[in-house]
Amino acid sequence: QKEVEQNSGPLSVPEGAIASLNCTYSDRVSQSFFWYRQYSGKSPELIMSIYSNGDKEDGRFTAQLNKASQYVSLLIRDSQPSDSATYLCAVNQAGTALIFGKGTTLSVSS
Amino acid sequence: NAGVMQNPRHLVRRRGQEARLRCSPMKGHSHVYWYRQLPEEGLKFMVYLQKENIIDESGMPKERFSAEFPKEGPSILRIQQVVRGDSAAYFCASSPYAALTSGNTIYFGEGSWLTVV
């Protein structure tokens, strides 16, 4: 059974701080890793994808992947109240559907 | 370029009725995925389809649920004899290829919210 684990939170950070979101996965052959953001009552929206070990930066977002530790994280710099949402980690192997974690709720206070 | 289109957006059914949810993938996408999200829960994979084929239905409940993606027309998720526990948001997603590698990912529709009364 493939599993993706996330701390449900809520994770509370002040505006301007760095938010750190973590995710572990059980299937060692997983190849692709994604972070989605979901606002309440809305559909998931892709933020970042990462496929190789190391860091990948896109604006205020940095995804980090460590396949040996089966760990992927998302850092949000200069957090804004508009970043308040649930962040979903998703993992897949080639030819299969994405498997999602339950999500971490982030609250950014102004 | 239209995104993934789902309808109806909201559906109310009485216990025992049937619910049909439709999904039209993005143009050029031939892979469709259905997910269910219960209140305060994460996205649970249900079924993965390609045109006229079910690729993976490991997440589908064994009874009352079925899905299809015909050669022509949208993908349909069908729930027979609905019960209150079926109340959830049902999300459809699509991708152009099977392998979700660099440059290829899945895109979600806006969801269909089913309420069983």
- Phi/psi of residue A79, each to 5°? -55, 140
- Looking at beta carbons, which residues of chain A come within 8 Å of B98? 94-95
User: Measured between CB atoms, which of B42, B91, B110 is closest to A103?
Assistant: B42
CA Rg value for chain A? 13
CB contact under 8 A, A100 and B107: no
Comparing A61 with A52, the larger pLDDT belongs to: A61
The residue whose two tokens read 């949402």 is: A85
Provide CB contacts within 8 A for A68, sequence distance 6+.
A53
User: Measured between CB atoms, which of A45, A46, A51 is closest to B101?
Assistant: A51
- Looking at beta carbons, which residues of chain A come within 8 Å of B57? none
Count how many Cα atoms sit within 13 Å of the Cα of residue A40 in the half-sphere of its side chain. Answer: 7
As a whole number, mean pLDDT of residues B79-98 equals 93
Provide CB contacts within 8 A for B102, sequence distance 6+.
A49, A51
Q: What kind and span of H or E run contains A41?
A: none
Instruction: Report the percentage of chain B scoring pLDDT > 70.
Output: 93
pLDDT at position A94 is 63
Comparing A8 with B74, the larger pLDDT belongs to: B74
The token duo for B87 is 């109340």
- pLDDT at residue B103 tops 60: no
- pLDDT at residue B66 tops 60: yes
As a whole number, mean pLDDT of residues A66-75 equals 95
pLDDT at position B111 is 97
- Phi/psi of residue B62, each to 5°? -70, -25
Dist. CA A58–CA B36, nearest whole Å = 29
pLDDT at position A34 is 93
Residue-averaged pLDDT of chain B: 91
The token duo for B82 is 């609905």
Provide CB contacts within 8 A for B94, sequence distance 6+.
B4, B23, B25, B26, B29, B31, B32, B33, B106, B107
Task: Give me the sign of the Cα torsion angle B6, B8, A40, A16.
Answer: positive
- Looking at beta carbons, which residues of chain B come within 8 Å of A43? 91, 108-111
